[in-house]
């Protein structure tokens, strides 16, 4: 994209809660990046966000932000049901897109977004930001250094207690499949699956089973999966969102030991091998998306490559669709 540009001027579509700390400030703090416009359908909330975050422009209409000549690139931070529409509109306007995860409601929508990116020769990135966080880069380096030998198996175990709002049947778009694509599995499980594909390459064979056992909402709340990566590594996953306890554990099992880590907390990474148990603590940065935003910005300025693209994000959706039994 460069064309002599020294700073990418970003616009955000959907300046909701995720943009308050996790992502929004990252566009202001990343080198070569500036946040100049935000959009939310509620004009009062859009203006309030702009004022609180020192953003010069605000809109209550997405098309107006996309067509703002001062906006170089667009971050789509809406719920998934609007990802395809706004991404395609921005791409057709020649604006690179960084879209929240999951990339869309389903794999089919992801493909439509990729086709538009290729047709317009405009970059498309997905906010699987764990691919750039120091904690997970450390794990990747441990794998690559052979600390646990040749990895042959991965196991995901995730459990969480139902929230009070779920128990009280309060509205939550994250468990409305028409808006979120599925339930919490899409919201949280997507990060776990994408991260494993960053470590080990594409999952090529996958099956799964999903059901609702808690009855707090219509979406699935219990998911099991079995999968195989292209390189032959075997994997299994279990997600339970109405459990009696909280558990967040991924095990990477190798020929000389294993690595155990949490995907969502910064609990110490554990290395278990012939030397015993070693624990490594790496805290998350204040704005967890900033490292990936930096890599996106770098690529747009022709100064590097971002590891989370439309292609990689779409394949994560492909895996999730098949786990949920979608053709």
- SS (HEC) of the chain: CCCCCCCEEEEEECCCHHHCCCCHHHHHHCCCEEEEEEECCCHHHHHHHHHHCCCCEEECCHHHHHCCCCCCEEEECCCHHHHHHHHHHHHHCCCCEEECCCCCCCHHHHHHHHHHHHHHCCCEEECCHHHHCHHHHHHHHHHHCCCCCCEEEEEEEEECCCCHHHHCCCCCHHHCHHHHCCCHHHHHHHHHHHHHHHHHCCEEEEEEEEECCCCCCCCCCEEEEEEEECCCCEEEEEEECCCCCCEEEEEEEECCEEEEECCCCCCCEEEEECCEEEEECCCCCCCCCHHHHHHHHHHHCCCCCCCCEHHHHHHHHHHHHHHCCCC
Same domain? For 77 and 146 the reply is no
- Band of pLDDT at residue 275, cut at 50, 70 and 90: confident
pLDDT on residue 3: 67
321 within domain boundaries: no
Say if 323 falls within a structural domain: no
Task: Write down the pLDDT at residue 308.
Answer: 98
Compute the distance between CA of residue 90 and CA of residue 65 in angstroms, rounded to an integer. 9
pLDDT, position 165: 95
Residues 141 and 274 in one domain: yes
Question: Cβ-count burial of 249 within 10 angstroms (0-12 exposed, 13-18 middle, 19+ buried)?
Answer: middle
Asked if residue 270 belongs to a domain, the reply is yes
Residue 112 pLDDT greater than 70, yes or no: yes
Q: Is 110 domain-assigned? A: yes
Domain annotation covers residue 39:
yes
Question: Is it true that the peptide bond before 34 is cis, omega within 30 degrees of 0?
Answer: no
Q: Are residues 104 and 208 in the same domain?
A: no
- Give the C-alpha separation, 146 to 298, whole Å: 30
Judged against a pLDDT cut of 90, whether residue 140 lies above it is answered with: yes
Q: Which of 100, 127, 154 is the last residue of a domain?
A: 127
Q: 206 and 277: one domain?
A: yes
Considering the entire predicted model, what is its pTM?
Answer: 0.96
Q: Which pLDDT band, with edges at 50, 70 and 90, does 111 fall under?
A: very high
State whether 147 and 66 are in the same domain.
no
Beta bridge partners of 223: 210, 239
The percentage of the chain sitting over the pLDDT mark of 90, rounded to a whole number, equals: 97
**66 and 142 both lie in a single domain:** no
Range of the domain at 261: 134-284
Q: Is the pLDDT of residue 1 over 70?
A: no
> Is residue 310, in this structure, part of any structural domain at all?
no
| Tokens matching residue 45 | 């909330």
C-alpha closest to that of 233 among 157, 148, 318, 310: 148
**Residue 92 — φ and ψ, nearest 5°?**
-65, -25
Distance CA 206, CA 220 (A): 18
Average pLDDT over residues 76-104: 98
In a domain, 180, yes or no: yes
What is the distance, to the nearest Å, from the Cα of residue 163 to the centroid of all Cα atoms in its chain? 22
In a domain, 308, yes or no: no
Does residue 158 share a domain with residue 250?
A: yes
Query: Which domain-ending residue is among 127, 150, 184?
Result: 127
**Residue 112 and residue 194 in one domain:** no
What CATH number does residue 166 fall under?
3.30.360.10
Q: How many residues does the chain have?
A: 327
Domain co-membership, 100 together with 206: no
Nearest to 4 by CA among 319, 242, 301: 301
Position 144 confidence tier, pLDDT thresholds 50, 70, 90: very high
- Find the angle CA(145)-CA(150)-CA(152) to the nearest 5 degrees: 135
Looking at residue 157, its pLDDT comes to: 98
Residue 274: predicted pLDDT: 87
pLDDT on residue 2: 60
pLDDT confidence of residue 4:
66
Neighbours of 303 (CB within 10 A): 12
Q: Which residues contact 144 (CB under 8 A, 6 or more apart)?
A: none
pLDDT by residue (tens digit) across 245-260? Answer: 999 999 999 999 999 9
Number of domains in the chain: 2
Q: Which of 65, 97, 127 is the last residue in one of the domains?
A: 127
Instruction: Tell me the C-alpha to C-alpha distance, in Å, between residue 244 and each of 158, 162, 210.
Output: 12, 8, 19
Average pLDDT over residues 102-119: 98
* pLDDT over 80 at 323, yes or no: yes
- pLDDT at position 138 is 98
CATH number of the domain bearing residue 75:
3.40.50.720
Burial 55-82 (b: 16+ CB within 10 A, else e): bebbbeebeebbebeebbbbbbbbbbbb
Same structural domain, 276 and 142:
yes
Are 149 and 17 members of one domain? no
Same domain membership, residue 271 and residue 152: yes
Q: Per-residue pLDDT averaged across 232-244, rounded?
A: 98
**Distance between CA atoms of 5 and 122, rounded to whole angstroms?**
15
CB 87 within 8 A of CB 124: yes
């Amino acid at each position: 994209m460069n064309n002599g540009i020294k700073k990418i001027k970003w616009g955000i579509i959907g300046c909701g809660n995720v943009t308050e700390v996790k992502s929004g400030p990252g566009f202001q703090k990343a080198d070569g990046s500036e946040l100049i416009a935000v959009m939310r359908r509620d004009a009062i909330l859009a203006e309030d966000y702009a004022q609180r975050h020192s953003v010069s422009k605000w809109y209550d209409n997405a098309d107006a932000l996309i067509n703002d000549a001062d906006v170089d690139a667009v971050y789509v931070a809406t719920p998934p049901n609007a990802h395809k529409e706004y991404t395609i509109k921005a791409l057709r306007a020649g604006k690179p897109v960084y879209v929240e995860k999951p990339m869309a409601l389903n794999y089919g929508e992801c493909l439509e977004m990729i086709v538009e990116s290729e047709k317009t020769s405009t970059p498309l990135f997905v906010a699987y930001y764990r691919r750039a966080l120091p904690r997970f880069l450390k794990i990747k380096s441990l794998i690559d250094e052979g600390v646990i030998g040749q990895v042959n198996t991965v196991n995901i175990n995730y459990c969480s207690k139902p929230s009070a709002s779920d128990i009280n049947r309060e509205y939550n778009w994250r468990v409305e499949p028409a808006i979120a694509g599925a339930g919490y599995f899409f919201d949280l499980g997507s990060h776990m699956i994408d991260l494993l594909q960053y470590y080990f390459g594409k999952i090529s064979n996958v099956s799964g089973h999903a059901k609702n056992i808690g009855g707090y909402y219509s979406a699935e709340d219990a998911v099991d999966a079995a999968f195989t990566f292209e390189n032959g590594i075997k994997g299994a996953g279990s997600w339970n969102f109405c459990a009696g306890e909280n558990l967040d554990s991924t095990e990477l099992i190798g020929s000389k030991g294993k690595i155990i880590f949490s995907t969502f907390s910064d609990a110490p990474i554990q290395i278990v091998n012939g030397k015993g148990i070693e624990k490594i603590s790496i805290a998350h940065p204040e704005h967890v998306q900033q490292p990936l935003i930096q890599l996106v910005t770098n690529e747009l300025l022709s100064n590097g490559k971002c590891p989370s693209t439309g292609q990689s994000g779409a394949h994560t959706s492909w895996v999730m669709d098949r786990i949920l039994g979608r053709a």
